[in-house]
Copies of this chain bind each other. A is one copy, B any other.
Amino acid sequence: MTTDTTITIDESQIRQLIAAQAKAICAKNLDAIMAPYAKEVINFDVKPPFQTKGADAWRQTWAACLPYFPDSAGVEMRDLRIFVSGELALAHWLWHLTGVDQDHPAAQMWMRSTGGYQRKQGRWYIVHEHCSVPFDPFTGKAVFTLEP
């Protein structure tokens, strides 16, 4: 049986998962970043390749790009929306890093994220993530600002 109260608790668990991961990214803590991923997660990342299959490959992607992340940053999120039903959840939001030197490439870069979550034995796992920026069809260039 699903009640409004269970839905609220479920949504709050997804919200916490997303917040904990943002914190892990800011701390550049690879184990904490990887903790919620399902073994069979498929990621569509902001940069090539088109997709990354499995948590092991995704961990290598994070390990390779963390050195380029600023040593101290926060995450600002906007327009988070969460859907939950049964053992499945979906969330999407906009985000960017804050407190970064203005000359760092990440300083002005907003991104869109979509997450898919599956609950197994009472614990939520990320089964899919899609992170991207739009591109300008006239220039072929990626667009990083919310109001281009």
The chain A residues found within 8 Å of chain B, CB to CB, are 2, 42, 44-51, 79, 81, 83-90, 92, 94, 105, 110, 112, 114, 116, 118, 127-128, 130, 132-137, 140-143, 146-148
Q: Which of B88, B92, B94, B146 contacts A128 (CB 8 A)?
A: B92
- Copies of chain A in the complex: 2
Q: With A and B bound together, what is the CA distance between A51 and B128 in angstroms?
A: 19
Q: How distant is A8 from chain B, measured CB to nearest CB, in Å?
A: 15
* CB–CB B133/A51 < 8 A: no
Q: With A and B bound together, what is the CA distance between A136 and B45 in angstroms?
A: 11
Residue of B nearest to A117 (CB): B90
Q: How distant is A51 from chain B, measured CB to nearest CB, in Å?
A: 7
Q: With A and B bound together, what is the CA distance between A47 and B142 in angstroms?
A: 9
Q: With A and B bound together, what is the CA distance between A130 and B79 in angstroms?
A: 15
* CB–CB A45/B134 < 8 A: yes
Q: With A and B bound together, what is the CA distance between A146 and B44 in angstroms?
A: 12
